[in-house]
């Protein structure tokens, strides 16, 4: 018979739970829902989202604060076979480099399509240790399961068994299904560590960069076909109007860079209609996000091959673009 246990001494300290923290890369092909997931976790928009592929162009950091851990999520550009431009290659390289920074990789797969050969190629490159880097756990996330009937979901999950991974999680970044469950798994893969960011900070993204991103999002949503990929948004002004009148108002001015005259005409639209539509949508969202009335001015300018101009790219706020950041041949080989 076991001895009765002595009652716990009232004054005794409870065992302290170690504080965990670390970086978690969110990777995957374009349009798989990585940015939607980041926004869902944070409960606010830090990354723009559109139905078009290659929306995210750089690493976007978001901090998830929990009582016993701090999960620093790193959203990345979708990994794709890049076009010829320096910028496009650098996007892909940014994604791979961010994965190497993470303690853990969350690899997103679009559940409506299932795993394909491009995923297999990318995953091979991300396999722990194959590039000589440290081993890091890989969690496979099958996203958009809200759109799957049960038998299809089952088949998609079965297909993921071929990939060595720490876990396979069916999820809906849009509805939030299993998002908390996924977050609850992450501390197990993170080391004990400090709070890297204060509790009231959820991103390191400058407001100016985000404002430019919101304008770019509206362009992506309103323009057809390939045009969105040929443009960039450069913020020229983002400041309170001085002298302040009766009520606070912010002046935001941005230049939309396109590669050709014909594209400029499309972005402006008939009698300026497209620019007006984009400007109005962007203004409304910026006012909502920054809780201040905004006076938005947009210009369109042709800047041939802006994607090749390193100085301009840095000026545009793409921090992943550094001198010599052309993706290695291995990083860009896909499928
Ligand atoms: N039905 C459904 N749609 C989703 C879900 N998650 C994302 N989407 C949609 O998928 C599209 C792409 O979402 P994003 O979050 O921009 O995808 P991404 O992986 O960040 O794309 P890139 O930045 O281009 O790499 C958007 O139209 C989203 O609304 C989901 O769980 N369910
Ligand atoms: Mg994205």
> Which CATH number does the domain housing residue 136 bear?
3.40.50.300
pLDDT at res. 7: 43
In this structure, are 29 and 122 located in the same domain?
yes
Q: Whose CA is nearest to atom 14 of ligand 1?
A: 33
Closest residue to atom 1 of ligand 1, CA basis? 144
* Alpha carbon of 78 to ligand 1 centroid (Å): 11
State if residue 221 touches ligand 1 by the CB under 6 angstroms criterion: no
Task: Looking at the CA of 52, name the nearest ligand.
Answer: 1
Q: Is residue 308 part of a domain?
A: yes
Q: Are 234 and 308 contained in the same domain? A: yes
Residue 208, SS3 per DSSP: helix
- Residue located nearest, by CA, to atom 3 of ligand 1: 144
pLDDT tens string, the chain, 335 residues long: the values are 444 444 444 445 556 889 999 999 999 999 999 999 999 999 999 999 999 999 999 999 999 999 999 999 999 999 998 777 888 888 999 999 999 999 999 999 999 999 999 999 999 998 755 555 667 899 999 999 999 999 999 999 999 999 999 999 999 999 999 999 999 999 999 999 999 999 999 999 999 999 999 999 999 999 988 788 899 999 999 999 987 777 899 999 999 999 999 999 999 999 999 999 999 999 999 999 999 999 999 999 999 999 998 888 888 887 565 544 444 444 444 43
**CA-closest residue to ligand 1 atom 7:** 33
pLDDT confidence of residue 319:
55
Same domain, 27 and 55: yes
Examine residue 176 and state whether it is found in any structural domain, yes or no.
Answer: yes
φ, ψ (nearest 5 deg) of residue 225: 55, -135
The burial class, CB within 10 Å (0-12 / 13-18 / 19+), for 24 is buried
End position of a domain, from candidates 189, 220, 242:
189
328 inside domain: no
Q: Is 321 helix (H, G, I), strand (E, B) or coil?
A: coil
- In order of 32, 80, 132, 201, the CA distances from 119 in angstroms are 11, 10, 20, 33
Say yes or no: CB of residue 55 within 6 Å of ligand 1.
yes
Specify whether 49 is located in the same domain as 183: yes
- Pick from 141, 157, 189: which residue ends a domain? 189
- DSSP line for 166-190: SEEEE--TTT-TTHHHHHHHGGGGS
Q: Which of 189, 215, 239 is the last residue of a domain?
A: 189
In a domain, 181, yes or no: yes
Number of domains, the chain: 2
Domain shared by 131 and 211, yes or no: no
pLDDT computed for residue 133 by the predictor: 62
Q: Please give the model's pTM, rounded to 2 decimal places.
A: 0.91
Same domain for 267 and 297?
Answer: yes
Do residues 48 and 55 lie in contact, with contact meaning Cβ atoms separated by under 8 Å?
A: yes
303 occurs within a structural domain = yes
Q: Do 109 and 235 share a domain, yes or no?
A: no
CATH code of residue 259: 3.30.300.20
Pair (235, 113) in one structural domain: no
Q: 101: Cβ below 6 Å to ligand 1?
A: no
320 lines ligand 1 (CB under 6 A): no
Say what the pLDDT of residue 325 is: 43
Same domain for 122 and 80: yes
CA distance linking residue 145 with residue 300, whole number of Å: 40
The pLDDT score that the predictor gives to residue 84 is: 76
**119, two tokens:** 């995923």
* CB 255 less than 6 A from any atom of ligand 1: no
136 and 226 inside one domain: no
- The answer to whether the CB of 332 falls within 8 A of the CB of 82 is yes
Token digits of residue 93: 């390289």
Torsion sign, CA atoms 318, 203, 180, 104: positive
Contact 78 CB / ligand 1 (< 6 Å): yes
Q: Is the CB of 36 under 6 A from ligand 1?
A: yes
Q: Can you give the residue range of the structural domain that contains 119? A: 20-189
Contacts of 263 (CB under 8 A, 6+ apart): 227, 230, 231, 302
| 330 in a structural domain | no
Mutate to test the pocket of ligand 1, among 30, 36, 98, 174 (most ligand atoms within 8 A of CB): 36
């Amino acid at each position: 018979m076991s001895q009765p246990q002595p009652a716990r001494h009232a004054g005794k300290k409870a065992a302290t739970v170690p504080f965990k923290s670390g970086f978690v890369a969110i990777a995957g092909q374009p349009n798989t829902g990585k940015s939607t997931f980041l926004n869902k976790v944070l409960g606010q928009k830090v990354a723009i989202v559109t139905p078009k592929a290659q929306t995210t162009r750089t690493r976007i950091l978001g901090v998830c604060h929990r009582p016993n851990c701090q999960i620093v999520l790193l959203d990345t550009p979708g990994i794709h076979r890049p076009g010829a431009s320096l910028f496009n290659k650098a996007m892909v390289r940014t994604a791979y480099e961010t994965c190497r920074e993470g303690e853990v990789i969350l690899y997103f797969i679009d559940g409506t399509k299932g795993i394909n050969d491009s995923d297999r190629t990318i995953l091979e490159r991300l396999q722990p240790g194959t590039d000589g880097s440290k081993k890091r756990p890989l969690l496979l996330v099958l996203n958009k399961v809200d759109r799957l009937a049960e038998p299809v979901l089952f088949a998609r999950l079965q297909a993921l068994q071929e990939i060595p991974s720490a876990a396979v999680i069916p999820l809906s970044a849009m509805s939030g299904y299993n998002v908390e469950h996924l977050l609850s798994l992450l501390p197990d893969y993170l080391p004990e560590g400090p709070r890297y960011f204060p509790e009231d900070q959820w991103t390191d993204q400058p407001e100016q960069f985000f404002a430019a991103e919101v304008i770019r999002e509206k362009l992506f949503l309103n323009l057809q076909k390939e045009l969105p990929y040929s443009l960039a948004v450069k913020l020229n002004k983002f400041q309170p109007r001085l002298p302040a009148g009766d009520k606070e108002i912010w002046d935001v001015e941005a230049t939309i860079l396109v590669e050709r005259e014909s594209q400029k005409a499309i972005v402006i639209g008939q009698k300026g209609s497209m620019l007006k539509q984009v400007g109005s949508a962007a203004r409304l969202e910026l006012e909502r996000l920054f809780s201040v009335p905004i006076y938005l001015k947009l210009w369109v300018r042709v800047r041939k091959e802006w994607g090749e101009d390193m100085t301009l790219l840095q000026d545009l706020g793409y921090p992943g673009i550094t001198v010599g950041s052309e993706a290695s041949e291995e990083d860009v080989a896909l499928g």
